[in-house]
Structure 1
Amino acid sequence: MQELQKAWIYLENGDFYEARSFGASGSYVGEIVFNTSLSGYQEISSDPSYAGQFVCLTMPEIGIVGANNQDMECVKIYAKGIICRNYNEFFSNFRADFSFGEFLRANNCMGICGIDTRKLTKSIRTNGSMMMIASSEISSKDELKEMLSKSKRIEDINYIEEVSTKEAYNYYFGKFDFNTMAYETPNTSKKIVAIDFGIKRSILQQLVNAGFSVSVVPNTTKASKLIEGYKNSEFDAIFLSNGPGDPQVLSSEVAEISSLIEAKIPIFAICLGHQLISLAMGYPTYKLPFGHHGGNHPVKNTLTNKIEITAQNHNYSVPDDIVKIADITHVNLFDNTIEGLKYKDYPIYSLQHHPEAGPGPLESTAIFREFAEFINSVKCSK
């Protein structure tokens, strides 16, 4: 195991920690959030929705299963860093290709350990999500404080420009089969265009598994082009993906989505996409105290009256008065915030949580097939 160098953390509330570094070296600024998942640290770190953030993992032991090339949620890591209590450089898993530390170093992402993550999590829960700076080079609290004060806040940065694809592409592969060690390629009968605000590979896999042929396009794609394509029957629906940052920064994307809504194109949206629909409808989003991040959040499905344990990753929520134009389909049982909507006058479904379960429980994955069935009903009503 490599000798771990020292690292120092300064939070904007004045908290200062000395720790150890097992990832990339240097000084990094970002927003700190905590995640309560017990597993799936590779999927968490490679989720583009964490762009610009440090993720404090409440699971104390990290690293024993290593990392591999199959479990990536996107092509690289956009998170600033991963914080854990204890890190294991030694890994033991038949699927592992390298250690978690090697994975972080190759992706220029900090790894910080040797810190009381329970205390850190309580601080975030009390003070809310905060900006922070971590460094393996600078030990001075005052110097770190000054650097943080001069840095941009996460809500002032458009991370979508960084994480979205620059060119359109088609995605064909379903879930990974551990027996054959290959991705399944299910038969697809419907076409959906996914607008990439930071889309995860596991979401694309679930869309394919639901019977969709998926075309992924950049966030800069114009609504006029998509509307023309829909009128010419080039595709059946639009998907708005997850993504990082404050949705109210994305004014140009909101304007384009407004045009898609008015064209009455069937839309399915998750996480950031869910928030962008709300903004396009004229209902501003708001920031939660410390967000929802983890794989154990109970959500009530109001359509079935069943409780689903869900995966979550978001700092923002849609307002309660959106019930004027939409029916609530899902409610978070931790804080009663809105988790799912079906719009009354438009063919639109949206979810705040992550039904693709990457990582997380599989209880909400049925929503992908439900939307596919909804598309069939829309076709029949034309």
Structure 2
Amino acid sequence: MQDAYLYFENGLFLQAKAFGSGQTAVGEVVFNTSMTGYEEIITDPSYAGQFILFTMPEIGIVGANPEDMESRGIFCKGIIVRNYNEFYSNFRAKENLDNFLKSQDIMGITGVDTRLLTKTIRNNGSMMMIASTQISSPEELKNILKKSKKIQDINLIPEVSTPKTYTHTTSTFDFNTFQYGLPNTSKKIIAIDFGIKRNILNELTAVGLEVEVMPHHFEANSIIARFENGEIKGVFLSNGPGDPLMLKNEISQIKLLIEAKIPIFGICLGHQLLSIANGYETYKLKFGHHGGNHPVKNLITQSVEITSQNHNYSVPQEIEEIAEITHKNLFDGTIEGLKYKNAPIFSVQHHPEASPGPKESSNLFKQFADMI
């Protein structure tokens, strides 16, 4: 392995080892507390512009394979792990994690005290960092980092969104046959891709919806016309990376969809964009929610669901003026779900499709199908 050098916004400098693609990269570092599913996490487009710090100390033992990818590639800046396992033991694996990262030109960093880094982020908040296999000088790394844009100043959506419209043609993964099933669809919806995960599309088709996926630069009036003539029955707003307040054009288009009373379901970034479009701006959390073990209380059923999460922003409490709060995070009390009072719209902050993580909230896809 090559030597790697890490410099963080708070002045912390570390030496480590690198696997994957050797390079110099700048991004925001966040920690993920999931115990399994590193390939699905790494290929989640919502991590664009970020380094993923895994609290799980052993990473790599199940290798990597195309079936477990959540998007067309890797959009994160890199991953940081305590111990990297080059040898993999999984009959479904096609290659080790090192080769998988190299094929995507992504850096892996190992030999780091991830507990120390996690505590640092927990205490100080998410921060920018630079990692390099080419530059060892702390001062030079500091200068590059200082001149680099903060993640909240970068519009990451064009990088992760689909460049053209397409129809999703598979359903959920069958672990008996190790194949994706064919959907049995009856109602057509539009899914707006801000960095959509593949398993969200699988779950939508699994509940009987034909899904046409559109790029982030959609035109609301064309969707409204198709809704009014009965061709489509609803709109889904996907997850995605970055600060939602950056997406001025997308927010203006979502406002038109809301005014047209089109049934809408939003997840993660989609949830945040709906709040902003209704006049309630989001705010950034100290270190965000990233992992597959976050307890959320369903205020409708009074049950507690363990959820998969990946976001750095939250909607404000004041939104209860126009929406019923349906879900609440039991770690910090932040809003996890909303049902709007004057429109057929609901949204959640967590990820009911999991991949990886628990699927205790997956019935939300059926609720959307029932609503339309």
Q: TM-score, normalised by structure 2?
A: 0.99
Q: Distance in 2 between matches of 1:158 and 1:108?
A: 21
Q: Residue 276 of structure 1 aligns to which amino acid in structure 2?
A: L
Q: Distance in 2 between matches of 1:172 and 1:131?
A: 38
Match of 2:287 in 1: 290
- Structure 1 residue 12 corresponds to structure 2 residue 6: no
Residue by residue, what CA displacement relative to the aligned partner does 1:166-187 show, whole Å, maximum 9, x if unpaired?
A: 1000002111112222111131
- Please state how far the C-alpha of 1:23 moved relative to its aligned partner: 1.3
Q: Distance in 1 between matches of 2:19 and 2:356?
A: 23
Q: Distance in 1 between matches of 2:115 and 2:260?
A: 49
Match of 2:172 in 1: 175
Cα root mean square deviation, aligned? 0.6
Which of 102, 106, 124 aligns to 2:121? It is 124
- Structure 1 residue 203 corresponds to structure 2 residue 200: yes
Secondary structure in structure 1 of the residue aligned to 2:196: coil
Q: Distance in 1 between matches of 2:122 and 2:106?
A: 24
Q: Distance in 2 between matches of 1:101 and 1:347?
A: 46
Q: Residue 307 of structure 1 aligns to which amino acid in structure 2?
A: V
- Structure 1 residue 341 corresponds to structure 2 residue 338: yes
Q: Distance in 1 between matches of 2:114 and 2:106?
A: 18
Q: Distance in 2 between matches of 1:23 and 1:124?
A: 24
Residue by residue, what CA displacement relative to the aligned partner does 1:191-226 show, whole Å, maximum 9, x if unpaired?
A: 110000000001000101111110000010110111
- Structure 1 residue 305 corresponds to structure 2 residue 302: yes
Match of 2:84 in 1: 87
Secondary structure in structure 2 of the residue aligned to 1:39: coil
Match of 1:378 in 2: none
Match of 1:134 in 2: 131
Report sequence identity in percent: 62
Q: Distance in 1 between matches of 2:367 and 2:278?
A: 23
Q: Distance in 2 between matches of 1:172 and 1:180?
A: 18
Structure 2: where are the runs of 5+ without partners? none
Match of 1:143 in 2: 140
Q: Distance in 2 between matches of 1:345 and 1:178?
A: 41
Q: Distance in 2 between matches of 1:374 and 1:266?
A: 8
Structure 1: where are the runs of 5+ without partners? 376-382
Secondary structure in structure 2 of the residue aligned to 1:261: helix
Secondary structure in structure 2 of the residue aligned to 1:70: helix
Q: Distance in 2 between matches of 1:182 and 1:126?
A: 43
Q: Distance in 2 between matches of 1:86 and 1:129?
A: 22
- Please state how far the C-alpha of 1:319 moved relative to its aligned partner: 0.2
Q: Distance in 2 between matches of 1:373 and 1:176?
A: 22
**Matching of residues 215-230 of structure 1 within 5 Å:** 215-230=212-227
Q: Residue 295 of structure 1 aligns to which amino acid in structure 2?
A: G
Q: Distance in 2 between matches of 1:17 and 1:207?
A: 44
- Please state how far the C-alpha of 1:374 moved relative to its aligned partner: 1.4
Residue by residue, what CA displacement relative to the aligned partner does 1:267-317 show, whole Å, maximum 9, x if unpaired?
A: 000000000000000000000000000000000001100000000000000
Secondary structure in structure 1 of the residue aligned to 2:68: coil
Match of 1:53 in 2: 50
Q: TM-score, normalised by structure 1?
A: 0.97
Q: Distance in 2 between matches of 1:178 and 1:334?
A: 32
Q: Distance in 2 between matches of 1:24 and 1:171?
A: 31
Q: Distance in 1 between matches of 2:349 and 2:232?
A: 24
Match of 1:33 in 2: 30
Q: Distance in 2 between matches of 1:362 and 1:7?
A: 37
Q: Distance in 2 between matches of 1:124 and 1:232?
A: 51
Paired residues in the alignment total 372
- Structure 1 residue 270 corresponds to structure 2 residue 270: no
**Matching of residues 42-81 of structure 1 within 5 Å:** 42-81=39-78
Q: Distance in 2 between matches of 1:274 and 1:182?
A: 31
- Structure 1 residue 365 corresponds to structure 2 residue 362: yes
Which of 19, 22, 25 aligns to 1:22? It is 19
Which of 135, 155, 161 aligns to 1:164? It is 161
Q: Residue 336 of structure 1 aligns to which amino acid in structure 2?
A: G
Which of 166, 188, 193 aligns to 2:190? It is 193
Q: Distance in 2 between matches of 1:206 and 1:10?
A: 40
Q: Distance in 1 between matches of 2:348 and 2:173?
A: 24
Residue by residue, what CA displacement relative to the aligned partner does 1:233-265 show, whole Å, maximum 9, x if unpaired?
A: 111000000000000000110000000000000
- Structure 1 residue 104 corresponds to structure 2 residue 101: yes
Q: Residue 145 of structure 1 aligns to which amino acid in structure 2?
A: K
